[in-house]
C-alpha cells in the first residue's frame, strides 16, 4: 500500500503525481466536452437553435473549436485549482504591463511573418490574388475575429501553459534530467500533441502535422524564455487571423466565408500547402523558422538572456490551509 501510495501521491507537494493529474484532467476535459456536445445537439433538436447556422461545412470545425475552447477554459479553472494546486495565472497569464508589451510583439510578429509568406508566395508563383475587397459580411468578420482570439488564448493555455508545464515538472522526477533538459523534453512532447490535435482537420497531411508540431516548438519559445504566454498568444492570434481573414487562405483546413483579400494556391501542395493552408507546405515551415528566430532575437534583446524560466520546471503551488 505504501508503494502504491508513493506511486500515486506526491506527499511533499500534496497532490497527485504528474501522470495521474494529466490522466484525470483529460478525463474531465472529455466528460465536459461530451456533455457540451450533447447539450448543443438537444438545443438544436428541441429548440431549433444552432450555433453553427450561417457557417459553411469547412468553417464549422473552427467554430466548434472555439466553443470547445470556452469549455476547456472553464474546465481548466477547476483542474488548475483542484488537481494542480495552481491559480490560472501560474500557467502564463500573469497579466501586467510587461505582459502586454510582449503580447504586442507577438501580434506584430504573427501578422508580419504571414504577410511576408504571402508576398513570397505571390512572387514565386505559389499563390495568386483573385480579388481585393471585403467578401462576406461585417458580422461574419467580427464573429471570426472573436473566434481567433478565443482559439489563440485557449490553445496556448492548454498546450503550452497546462501541458508543457506539467510535462516539465513531471520530467524533473527523473534525477538525471536537468531543468533545461526537462523543459526541452516537455516542449517536444507538447508540440507533438499540438500537431496531433490538428491531424484530423480537413485536408490534413503528414506534412501539415509535422509543420504544426514545429510551430508548437516555435510558440513554446516565448513561454520558455519569459514564463508567460503573452508572445505565443499574440503570434497564434494574428498568424491565423491574417492567414484567413486578411489574405483569404485556408486556416488549418478551414475555408472562411469572409476575408479582405481572396488568395488561392497555385503551386505544388508540398510547397504552398494547398487546401490545408501554408502549414501543409514548405512555405509554412519557412514561416515557422523565421518566427522562431524573431522570438529568440526579441527575448535576447529585451531580457538580455535566453535562460529558461524556472517557474516552468519548479512548482509554485498555492498554499493549502487546513480549512481547504
Confidence (pLDDT) at 39:
81
Residues, the chain: 324
Confidence (pLDDT) at 324:
40
Whole-angstrom distance, CA of residue 198 vs CA of residue 240: 14
The DSSP bridge pattern shows strands 9-10 and 15-16 to be antiparallel
- Main-chain dihedrals φ then ψ at residue 262, nearest 5 degrees: -100, 115
Confidence (pLDDT) at 53:
63
Confidence (pLDDT) at 167:
93
Residues 233, 158, 299: CA angle, nearest 5 degrees: 40
CB 74 within 8 A of CB 32: yes
Nearest in space to 84 (alpha carbons), one of 263, 315, 278, 243: 315
Confidence (pLDDT) at 322:
42
Render pLDDT for 139-150 as a digit per residue (tens, 0 to 9).
889 888 988 999
Residues 248, 251, 254: CA angle, nearest 5 degrees: 95
How do the residues of the chain divide into helix, strand and coil, expressed in percent and rounded to 5?
65, 5, 25
Confidence (pLDDT) at 58:
62
Whole-angstrom distance, CA of residue 124 vs CA of residue 72: 40
Q: Which residues have C-beta within 8 Å of that of residue 105, sequence separation ≥ 6?
A: 231, 234, 298
| Residues of the chain below pLDDT 70 | 47-59, 61, 174-175, 319-324
Confidence (pLDDT) at 203:
92
Confidence (pLDDT) at 96:
93
Confidence (pLDDT) at 95:
92
Q: Hey, where are the domains in the chain?
A: 95-312
DSSP per-residue codes, 286-305: HHHHHHHHHHHHHHHHHHS-
Render pLDDT for 207-262 as a digit per residue (tens, 0 to 9).
999 999 999 999 999 999 999 999 999 999 999 999 999 999 999 998 898 999 99
Residues 197, 198, 203: CA angle, nearest 5 degrees: 150
Confidence (pLDDT) at 48:
61
- Output the pTM of the full model: 0.90
Amino acid at each position: 500500500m505504501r508503494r502504491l501510495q508513493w506511486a500515486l501521491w506526491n506527499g511533499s507537494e500534496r497532490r497527485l503525481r504528474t501522470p495521474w493529474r494529466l490522466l484525470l484532467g483529460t478525463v474531465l476535459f472529455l466528460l465536459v466536452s461530451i456533455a457540451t456536445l450533447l447539450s448543443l445537439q438537444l438545443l438544436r433538436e428541441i429548440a431549433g437553435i444552432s450555433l453553427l447556422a450561417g457557417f459553411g461545412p469547412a468553417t464549422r470545425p473552427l467554430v466548434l473549436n472555439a466553443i470547445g475552447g470556452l469549455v476547456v477554459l472553464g474546465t481548466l479553472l477547476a483542474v488548475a485549482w483542484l488537481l494542480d494546486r495552481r491559480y490560472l495565472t501560474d500557467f502564463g497569464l500573469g497579466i501586467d504591463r510587461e505582459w502586454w508589451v510582449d503580447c504586442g510583439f507577438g501580434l506584430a510578429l504573427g501578422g508580419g511573418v504571414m504577410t511576408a509568406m504571402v508576398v513570397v508566395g505571390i512572387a514565386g508563383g505559389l499563390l495568386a490574388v483573385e480579388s481585393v475587397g471585403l467578401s462576406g459580411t461585417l458580422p461574419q468578420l467580427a464573429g471570426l475575429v472573436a473566434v481567433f482570439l478565443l482559439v489563440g488564448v485557449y490553445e496556448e493555455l492548454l498546450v503550452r501553459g497546462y501541458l508543457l508545464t506539467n510535462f516539465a515538472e513531471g520530467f524533473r522526477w527523473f534525477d538525471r534530467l536537468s531543468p533545461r533538459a526537462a523543459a526541452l523534453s516537455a516542449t517536444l512532447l507538447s508540440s507533438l500533441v499540438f500537431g496531433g490535435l490538428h491531424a484530423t482537420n480537413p485536408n490534413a497531411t503528414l506534412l501539415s502535422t509535422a509543420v504544426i508540431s514545429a510551430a508548437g516548438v516555435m510558440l513554446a519559445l516565448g513561454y520558455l524564455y519569459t514564463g508567460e504566454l503573452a508572445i505565443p498568444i499574440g503570434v497564434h492570434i494574428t498568424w491565423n487571423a491574417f492567414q484567413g481573414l486578411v489574405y483569404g487562405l485556408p486556416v488549418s483546413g478551414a475555408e472562411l466565408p469572409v476575408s479582405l483579400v481572396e488568395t488561392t494556391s497555385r503551386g505544388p501542395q508540398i510547397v504552398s500547402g494547398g487546401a490545408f493552408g501554408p502549414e501543409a507546405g514548405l512555405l509554412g515551415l519557412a514561416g515557422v523558422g523565421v518566427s522562431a528566430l524573431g522570438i529568440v532575437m526579441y527575448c535576447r534583446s529585451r531580457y538580455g538572456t535566453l535562460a529558461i524560466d524556472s517557474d516552468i520546471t519548479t512548482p509554485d503551488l498555492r498554499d493549502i490551509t487546513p480549512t481547504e
